[in-house]
Structure 1
Amino acid sequence: MSDAGSSAGPLFDDGKADGAMRTIGEVSAAFGIKPHVLRYWEQQFPSLKPLKRSGGRRLYRSEDIAMVTTIDRLVNKEGYTLKGARKAIASGKADSANSEQRQGAAVTQAETAAMLSPDAPARQPGLEVTQQLRAIRDRLAAALD
């Protein structure tokens, strides 16, 4: 989460600056998460607090996008429950897991950007399975240490 500015940049291919605020629709499209799920996550994770403009319009800052990235990784890729993900984030374990993945055979930012770009082909199910297996392998290796 400390590298929020750098992690927010490659996820979006919309011509905006890396630190630009993005609407809930833009974040939803980039991550493949429905807007109502993002709104629910705001209730469940106190650290996810996008700015709200008049009429309730949400604007996600780079630190909010970094938090969505972490929550998405924990819940949708590593299999945490929302309660477990909340505990991991609160205890700081989510950051250490993220750094362990960066050191291991994790998906690169370029691969992530390619998957999330608007002109990218349909999701590759084999790649998602590979990511999940790598995350499981990393967790098992960490447990043995």
Structure 2
Amino acid sequence: MKSDDAFRTIGELAEELGLPQHILRYWETRFPQLRPLQRAGNRRYYRPADVALARRIHRLLNEEGYTIKGVQKLLAEGDAKPAASPPPAPPIALPLAELKRIRQLLVDALADSAA
């Protein structure tokens, strides 16, 4: 894997994000902030800042559920919002008998503290 400071080709970035290359080219038309260097033959080279922005766009669109328009608005506003916190842990499924036992323990504890 390349250093975080290395430039990446569109193929490398697309593979890293798990996206087809045409999606990155489409994002360039929708997000003016995403501007990779273009060399001879229109080869794209993404700078570290471009890579970070592409990762952020990917996260907002594919993990947080934003629309293209929503991400455009966030980026245009400078979005001071920190990265999303991890989703809450799924609830623990316990058998009904265990839940009733726990409830009774709580009832007994409350009764003892009231006495």
- Structure possessing the higher radius of gyration over alpha carbons: 2
Whole-angstrom distance in 1 between the partners of 2:68 and 2:32:
12
SS of the equivalent of 2:81 reads: helix
Whole-angstrom distance in 2 between the partners of 1:97 and 1:88:
12
In the alignment of these two chains, the number of paired residues is 88
Q: 1:81 maps to what in 2?
A: 67
Partner residue of 1:47 out of 10, 33, 36:
33
Whole-angstrom distance in 2 between the partners of 1:77 and 1:40:
19
Gaps of 5+ in 2: 89-115
Whole-angstrom distance in 2 between the partners of 1:87 and 1:44:
11
Question: Which contiguous aligned blocks of 4+ residues in structure 1 show a shift greater than 6 angstroms?
Answer: none
Whole-angstrom distance in 2 between the partners of 1:77 and 1:97:
15
Q: Specify the code of the residue in structure 2 equivalent to 1:49.
A: R
Q: Does 1:22 align with 2:22?
A: no
The normalised TM-score by structure 2 is 0.71
* More helix as a share of residues: 1
Q: 1:67 maps to what in 2?
A: 53
RMSD of the TM alignment (CA)? Answer: 1.5
The normalised TM-score by structure 1 is 0.57
Of structures 1 and 2, the one scoring higher in RCO (CA 8 A, sep 6+) is 1
SS of the equivalent of 2:11 reads: helix
Q: 1:96 maps to what in 2?
A: 81
Q: 1:38 maps to what in 2?
A: 24
SS of the equivalent of 1:52 reads: strand
Share of identical aligned residues, percent? Answer: 47
